[in-house]
Amino acid sequence: MISRPILLLTAAIAVVGANSMVLAPITGAVARDLGGDPADMVLAAAAYGLTTAISAVFLAPRADVIGPHRALYQSVLILLGSMVASVFASSLLMLALAQAFGGIGAGMAIPSIYALAPQLGPKGEEKRTMGLVLSGWTLALVGGVAASGFLAEWAGWRSVYTVLAVALVAVFIAMHRIDITVDMSRARPTSPLTALRVPGIGRGLFAAGALMLGFYGTYAFMGAHVHDALGLGTDGAGLVTLLYGTGFGLAALIDRYVDRLPARVAGMVAFSGLTAVYLAQAVVGTVFVALVVVALVWGVAQHLGLNFVVSRLAGLDASQRGAVLGLNSAVTYLAVTGGALAFRPVYDAGGLMLCNLLSALCVAAAVVESLTARDVAPARG
């Protein structure tokens, strides 16, 4: 049975994750209301990603001093303010500023949640617990991305942020009724510099960067591929996303078995599976039914890869989890931007197939890293 604190962390990831992804499917509705071209709305998304990365580097380490539970309280309040400001934004600039403010909260929230997960779950089942929390991203994909477009069409785009704000209020109330306090008796100040000196951090961040760059390099152009190459609408792209999210969530059922594998083997299995997925997409990507089936497997493999990366980094040094996982979040959001920018000319030159091949190359580099890595030692501190 899943404990109440873990359910709370899963819900928190779902709301924070949904907030980071809902703008993409509602850009048309936002543009009609605020004026401008839908492509201009990327400014707000870029502002969110930039401040999230900066906050993850410089503010996430505060969790190592005040405790990740307190850092999560503070970040939820910041995110709530951002959502309310987004609801009442009267221009693109105001929306971008609101999203930038929200990025500050997200950069603190995600590392704090990841840091709390192994401490609040059963001893010896840290990876399974992390996998359960990561399944919150499935709720974000299905409930956030899939539902936001429908909600924006029928009730206006502001209703999307209103619903998110209400959900976040529910999370905040639950945080005051469910004890997520962790022991901070050995707390000490940390920073990005101290985190970068943790043994194994370089290799861990390399694997994280390879995983996320490969993912966003393909995911960012999946909708364009479904439209341009397959001649389908947003419903087709939504089905691919839905099957990916379903696979991501179902993977939580096998986390307990993967948890028994040596860390190096778990990494090799996840990254090798992802490499095979991207190669499969390159081969069958012009057949929609096959693309949807591969998307389901893609979600499973991506879940296993993300679980491995986050658990590995969380296990490097318990006293610096906030700083270490903050660097992970920074790498992730830089991969969001890098995936879109670096893969754009690749997509223009060879479509999704060429993006798939480059993503496979990125993840294959993580396979090589796993082959030469030592198994992750128990967290110090």
pLDDT at 376 over 60: no
What pLDDT digit, counting tens, does each position of 286-302 carry? 999 999 999 999 999 99
CB crowding 306-317: b at 16 or more within 10 Å, else e: bbbbbbbbbbbb
Using CB atoms within 10 A of its CB, is residue 60 exposed (0-12), middle (13-18) or buried (19+)? buried
Q: Are residues 62 and 171 in the same domain?
A: yes
- Please report, for the domain that includes residue 325, its CATH number: 1.20.1250.20
Residue 125 is encoded by which pair of tokens? 């089942």
What pLDDT digit, counting tens, does each position of 217-227 carry? 898 888 888 88
Of the chain, the percentage scoring pLDDT greater than 90 comes to 55
Tokens 């990254």 appear where?
Answer: 271
Within-domain flag for 193: no
Segment of 146-150, 255-259, 264-268, 307-311 carrying the highest mean pLDDT:
307-311
In total, the chain counts a number of residues equal to 381
For residue 123, give every residue at least 6 positions away whose Cβ sits within 8 Å of its Cβ, in sequence order, or none. Answer: none
| End-of-domain residue from the set 145, 178, 211 | 178
Within-domain flag for 42: yes
pLDDT at 239 over 70: yes
Q: Are residues 204 and 145 in the same domain?
A: no
Average pLDDT over every residue of 177-199: 85
pLDDT at 19 over 50: yes
Average pLDDT over every residue of 174-183: 89
Q: Are residues 158 and 213 in the same domain?
A: no
Q: How many CB atoms lie within 10 A of CB 7?
A: 15
Q: Are residues 142 and 203 in the same domain?
A: no
pLDDT at 381 over 60: no
Give the C-alpha separation, 201 to 119, whole Å: 20
Average pLDDT over every residue of 318-335: 91
Tell me what pLDDT residue 113 has: 95
Q: Are residues 231 and 284 in the same domain?
A: yes
Within-domain flag for 184: no
Residue 322 is encoded by which pair of tokens? 């906030």
Q: Are residues 222 and 110 in the same domain?
A: no
pLDDT at 352 over 90: yes
State the average pLDDT for the chain: 88
Q: Are residues 207 and 173 in the same domain?
A: no
Tell me what pLDDT residue 327 has: 95
Give the C-alpha separation, 357 to 327, whole Å: 27
Q: Are residues 17 and 122 in the same domain?
A: yes
DSSP string for 177-212: TS------TT-----HHHHHTSTTHHHHHHHHHHHH
Within-domain flag for 300: yes
Give the C-alpha separation, 266 to 262, whole Å: 6
Tell me what pLDDT residue 35 has: 82
Where in the sequence is the domain holding 149, given as residue range(s)?
A: 1-178
Q: Are residues 345 and 248 in the same domain?
A: yes
Q: Are residues 36 and 134 in the same domain?
A: yes
Helix axes 126-134, 4-21, angle to 10 degrees: 40
pLDDT at 378 over 50: no
Within-domain flag for 380: no
Q: Are residues 149 and 36 in the same domain?
A: yes
Within-domain flag for 194: no
pLDDT at 251 over 60: yes
DSSP string for 153-177: HHH-HHHHHHHHHHHHHHHHHHHTT
Within-domain flag for 16: yes
Q: Are residues 1 and 98 in the same domain?
A: yes
Within-domain flag for 32: yes
| End-of-domain residue from the set 178, 213, 242 | 178
Tokens 């839908």 appear where?
Answer: 38
- 380 pLDDT band, cuts 50/70/90, is very low
Report the domain count for the chain.
2
